[in-house]
């Protein structure tokens, strides 16, 4: 019974603020109200600028205003945790109504903390109304006494799927990771007499690589071990170079190629972790999101192996020298990536 009363009160509250929004559209100069609409891809902020001379220390009109200054002020007082707001465009009507548009780049999540305190420092009567458009529409309010709200979206399953997609995309667009995978596959093809053996060895190598990179990925995301990002990128290039050298001089037998994948996988795991950290991964989502990312990486690797292994097997068995040529090319790429990342010149196009 109590829950029903609370729900009823919330509906009344939401209805009241919806009415307030409608009234604001009727009158030419709505007072003390900022309206925000977020459809999870684009954020729109609308407010009346009759008192912008206070925060900007200058008069603002439709013909004369500093767009960047308006954007900067808004971003200073409006933020979405886990999202980056990118200024897109701004409009000012003759009634001095400001419409700002932001593109939003967010980490997949089921809830977001939003902070809003525009004009609250000099006007305690100010209000903010946020409409979130997801699978459903929700209304949230901001007051000087309530500057933060938690927005829940229907994205629990989407989060996991999105991180699978990110993992697939990361491996398919990570040319250094793909080159490393290719260098590992070459001996498994060249020194075996049957395709099925090459396939089995490739599965063993991929499994060893998965185990080790999952360990360092977890350690880095939990901030237990956090080596410098640039150092990791250099070491990833170095693993490619060493693997290519091993293909030529055979320091490690092809039947123990899984050992190289396991050892060097620790380095690549830190590289995967850096990709996740750019998304501001939340610890409470660790299991679900990291498992999704890892699954995406494995799916990407499997797709690459599934497509390239038969083709490489046929070509290398027919043209024996191709094994050496590809190993040398891979070694050169690894060396160039290493020099490029050490110097920071940026001469490598990918």
Domain edges within the chain: 2-152, 156-343
Q: What is the pLDDT of residues 222-241, one digit of tens each?
A: 788 989 988 999 999 999 99
Residue with tokens 């006007």: 123
Report pLDDT for 23.
Answer: 37
Per-residue pLDDT tens for 320-332?
Answer: 999 999 999 999 9
Mean pLDDT of the chain: 80
Does the pLDDT of residue 216 top 70, yes or no?
Answer: yes
Residue with token string 């809830």: 111
Q: Exposed, middle or buried by CB within 10 Å (0-12, 13-18, 19+), for 323?
A: buried
> Which residues sit opposite 106 in a β-bridge?
83
The helix (run of H) or strand (run of E) holding residue 184 is helix 175-190
Residue with more model confidence, 85 or 161: 85
- CATH of 156-343 given 1.10.287, 1.25.40, 1.10.357, 1.20.1250: 1.20.1250
Query: Phi and psi of 4, rounded to 5°?
Result: -65, -40
**What digits encode the pLDDT tens for the residues 167-205?**
887 788 788 999 999 999 999 999 999 999 999 999 999
What is the reported pLDDT for 12? 37
Place of tokens 């290719």: 182
**Above pLDDT 90, what percent of the chain?**
36
Distance CA 79, CA 150 (A): 12
Write down the pLDDT at residue 108: 75
Burial category of 272 from C-beta neighbours within 10 Å (exposed 0-12, middle 13-18, buried 19 and up): buried
* Rounded alpha-carbon distances, angstroms, from residue 205 to 17, 41, 200, 214, 326: 59, 40, 9, 14, 19
- pLDDT for 128-147, tens place per residue? 888 888 776 777 888 888 89
How much is the average pLDDT of 63-87? 84
Range scoring the smallest mean pLDDT among 53-62, 118-127, 181-190, 295-304: 53-62
- pLDDT at 30 > cutoff 70: no
SS3 99: strand
Give residue 311's pLDDT: 96
Q: What band does 32 get if pLDDT is binned at 50, 70 and 90?
A: low
And the tokens for 253?
């037998």
Q: 0.75 cut: is pTM over it? A: no
The residues with which 98 forms a beta bridge, in sequence order, are 47, 92
Give the total residue count for the chain: 350
Q: In this model, does residue 17 exceed pLDDT 80?
A: no
């Amino acid at each position: 019974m109590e829950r029903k009363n609370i729900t009823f009160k919330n509906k009344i509250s939401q209805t009241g603020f919806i009415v307030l929004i409608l009234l604001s559209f009727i009158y030419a100069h709505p007072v003390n109200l900022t309206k925000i609409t977020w459809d999870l891809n684009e954020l729109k902020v609308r407010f009346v600028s009759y008192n912008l001379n206070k925060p900007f220390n200058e008069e603002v009109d439709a013909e004369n205003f500093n767009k960047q200054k308006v954007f900067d002020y808004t971003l200073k007082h409006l933020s979405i945790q886990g999202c980056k707001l990118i200024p897109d465009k701004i409009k000012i009507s003759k009634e001095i109504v400001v419409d700002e548009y932001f593109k939003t780049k967010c980490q997949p999540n089921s809830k977001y903390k939003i902070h809003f305190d525009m004009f609250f420092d000099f006007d305690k009567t100010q209000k903010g109304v946020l409409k979130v458009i997801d699978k459903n529409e929700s209304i949230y309010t901001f007051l000087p006494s309530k500057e933060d709200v938690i927005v829940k979206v229907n994205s629990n399953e989407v989060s996991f799927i999105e991180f699978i997609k990110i993992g697939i995309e990361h491996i398919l667009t990570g040319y250094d990771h793909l080159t490393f995978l290719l260098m590992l596959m070459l001996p498994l093809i060249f020194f075996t007499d049957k395709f099925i053996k090459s396939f089995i060895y490739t599965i063993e190598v991929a499994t060893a690589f998965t185990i080790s990179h999952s360990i360092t990925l977890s350690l880095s995301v939990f901030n237990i071990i956090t080596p410098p990002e640039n150092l990791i990128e250099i070491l990833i290039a170095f693993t490619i170079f060493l693997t290519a050298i091993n293909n030529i001089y055979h320091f490690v037998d092809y039947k123990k190629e899984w050992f190289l994948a396991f050892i060097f996988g620790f380095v690549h795991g830190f590289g995967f972790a850096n990709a996740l950290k750019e998304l501001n991964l939340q610890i409470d989502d660790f299991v679900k999101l990291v498992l999704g990312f890892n699954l995406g990486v494995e799916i990407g690797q499997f797709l690459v192996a599934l497509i390239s292994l038969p083709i490489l097997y046929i070509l290398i068995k027919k043209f024996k020298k191709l094994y050496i040529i590809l190993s040398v090319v891979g070694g050169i790429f690894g060396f160039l990536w290493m020099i490029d990342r050490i110097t920071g010149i940026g001469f490598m196009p990918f």
